[in-house]
Amino acid sequence: MSEDQVARNLQGMDNVDFIGWNNGDWHGTFSDYHTDDVVVEVKGMDTTQGLSAHIEAMDSLVKATTGETPNQVVSHPIAFGSGEWTCVVGEFENGERMVTVARWRDGKIAEEYIWL
């Protein structure tokens, strides 16, 4: 995979967080950047399989922690990739951070590991 592809995948991660996540746009931008069969592990414990399960889990997480509006991701101060993998640190408006490691397939996230 070329450096151009890694750059596109990192731009995709920006779109996932800054547009999809921040706006709770689960069935638009957020979905556009995940495969239908995506496997997502959160905090090394909770695993979902499939896009619908991932959306349901993220929507439930937002409602349980901040209500209807997701805690806003304001920056990715660390972002890099190699081959089909990317890693970003997302910084929230309240100063908290999350780390997302993703494996990409055809411009979409096929596998994702998130630590909040």
pTM above 0.95, yes or no: no
- pLDDT of amino acid 25: 94
Q: What is the pLDDT of residue 1?
A: 54
Residues 99, 70, 105, CA angle at the centre, nearest 5°?
Answer: 50
Q: Which CATH number fits domain 3-115: 3.40.50.12780, 3.30.1300.30, 3.10.450.50, 3.40.50.1950?
A: 3.10.450.50
Token pair 């409602």 is at which residue? 63
Q: pLDDT tens-digit profile of 58-115? A: 999 889 988 878 899 999 999 999 999 999 999 999 999 999 999 999 999 999 999 9
Task: Name every residue whose Cβ is closer than 8 Å to that of residue 14 and which is 6 or more positions away in sequence.
Answer: 76
Across the range 4-19, mean pLDDT stands at: 97
Domain positions in the chain: 3-115
Structure tokens at 47: 């695993």
Report the amino acid identity of residue 73.
Answer: V
The stretch 54-60 carries a mean pLDDT of 94
- The DSSP result for 33-78, as a single string, is TEEEEEEEEETTTEEEESHHHHHHHHHHHHHHHTTTSPPPEEEEEE
